[in-house]
Amino acid sequence: MNFTLSESDLLLRRTIRDFAVKELEPTARERDAKEEFSWPLYKKLGKLGVTGLGIAPERGGSGGLLQTAIAVEEIARSDASMALSLLASLSLASHGIEHHANDALRNHCLPPIARGETIASFAFTEPEAGSDAANIQTTAIKKNGKYLVNGSKTFITNGDIADTFLLFATTDRAKRHKGMLAMVVERGSKGLSSRKQTEKMGMRASSTAEVLFDDVEVPAGNLVGGEGEGFKIAMQIVDGSRPIIGAQAAGIAQGALDLAVRHVRRRKQFGQAVADFQGVQWMLADMVTQIDAARLLVYRAAFLRDQGLPCTKESAMAKLFASEAAMQVATQALQLHGGSGYFKASPIERAFRDAKVTEIYEGTSQIQRLVIARRLLAEASSHR
């Protein structure tokens, strides 16, 4: 068992850290205030090869899920919003297309995504299909060799800027998960539109939108997998994406800890640095321990996924622990900033807001606990 990253992975981490500090941090607060996604910065990530992580080399990509996790964590440490835009394009939509679509779709969609010229979106969530993932209402009815899609999606990351959508719909609402299918839909399709959703608490510089489908015609060749396989494909995709949410959460937590350490070393109270108080040191010790545990859970799940091994429970554990650690660490970091941390001028305020949603999207903490417990009980039954 080796807990040491390879030299190439360490180089990737240093490269992304340097980019995040120099390119993302200086404008993160402004973009958060304006709720503004930056295409120029995203395209710079493309030139670094980050937007192609986990995509096959023949389609312009490199690396696997572990490398995706490393990059997302380092980006989130400075700018959680950019990390979200990236991971939604990669670990949800693009990796889903890479692992489940036919060669024609892969070769058509993925090269420009890998180069950072376009961005992808995972169109799953609906007003009545969040935690109840099988309750999809968007329909895809086959007619004359094409699918006619009608319905709407909500809270879709990259929904108003994506060129490629990995869409989940149903052929028959009464069939619930058994009627679900997945397909690629491209921007510019007649009847496809989007409306940006604003005023989010956090992740404000990552674009979120409602995506609408009004008699959108989709070629049968754009089907990913077969009819009735959509739910299974979606669950396999989130097995790979939940560790990346965990990586994002670990990055937010690390960024919050960085800010807290910097503040308590500079701030003086009662004639000494705040960092010299034992109570403060205990808080810092708990925070760094939580972050390290979260990172190790993320790396284990990503490693299992890259090896093609089962990782449903491990992925849920990584997402659950890392997201809750992010919220706890951000809360403690804000506490250590005192009153100054409560104002928008302080970057810890943004980290605190960004952390919360990691406990909500891609399966709430409650859903993760259900996944973990059910897998645990199934494993126990198999060993009886």
Q: Are residues 20 and 80 in the same domain?
A: yes
- The enclosing domain of 18 has a CATH number of 1.10.540.10
Among 118, 143, 168, which residue terminates a domain?
A: 118
Asked if residue 171 is part of any domain, the answer here is yes
Give yes or no: residues 255 and 371 share one domain. Answer: yes
Q: Same structural domain for residues 211 and 235?
A: no
Average pLDDT over residues 23-42: 97
Tokens 């980006």 belong to 75
Any domain includes 36: yes
Q: 3-state class of 170 per DSSP?
A: strand
Last residue of a domain, one of 118, 145, 174: 118
Residues 182 and 286 in one domain: no
Reported as a single tens digit per residue, the pLDDT across 288-312 is 999 999 999 999 999 999 999 999 9
Q: Are residues 128 and 180 in the same domain?
A: yes
Domain count, the chain: 3
Is 1 within a domain?
no
Per-residue pLDDT for 1 more than 80?
Answer: no
Instruction: Tell which phi-psi region holds residue 303, choosing left (phi > 0), alpha (psi between -120 and 50) or beta.
Output: alpha
For residue 132, the model assigns a pLDDT of: 82
Residue identified by tokens 């028959």 is: 172
**Domain coverage including residue 165:** 121-228
Distance CA 210, CA 294 (A): 32
Beta strand 208-219 with 192-196 is antiparallel
Q: Length of the chain in residues, anyone?
A: 384
CB of 369 within 8 A of CB of 319?
Answer: no
Q: Are residues 375 and 259 in the same domain?
A: yes
Q: In angstroms, rounded to a whole number, what is the distance separating the alpha carbons of residues 288 and 341?
A: 19
If you average pLDDT over residues 6-13, what whole number do you get? Answer: 97
Could you tell me the pLDDT band of residue 384, with boundaries at 50, 70 and 90?
low
Q: Please indicate whether residue 362 is annotated as part of the active site.
A: yes
- Domain presence at residue 95: yes
Backbone angles phi, psi at 235, to 5 degrees: -70, -35
Is residue 121 helix, strand or coil?
A: strand
Residue 349 located in a structural domain: yes
- Residue 65: phi, psi to the nearest 5? -70, -35
Do 187 and 327 reside in the same domain of the chain?
no
Give 134 or 289, the one with higher predicted confidence. 289
Does residue 2 lie within any of the structural domains? no
Q: What is the pTM of this model?
A: 0.96
250 and 349 inside one domain:
yes
pLDDT at position 129 is 81
pLDDT digits (tens, 9 = 90+) for 147-183: 999 999 999 999 999 999 999 999 999 999 899 999 9
Q: Provide the token pair at 360.
A: 């909500």
Say if residue 15 is in the same domain as residue 80: yes
- Selecting among 23, 98, 362, 379, the annotated active-site residue is 362
Which residues touch 77 (CB under 8 Å, ≥6 apart)?
A: 17, 20, 251, 252, 254, 255, 258
Residues 100 and 131 occupy one common structural domain: no
First to last CA, the chain: 29
Mean pLDDT along residues 225-247: 96
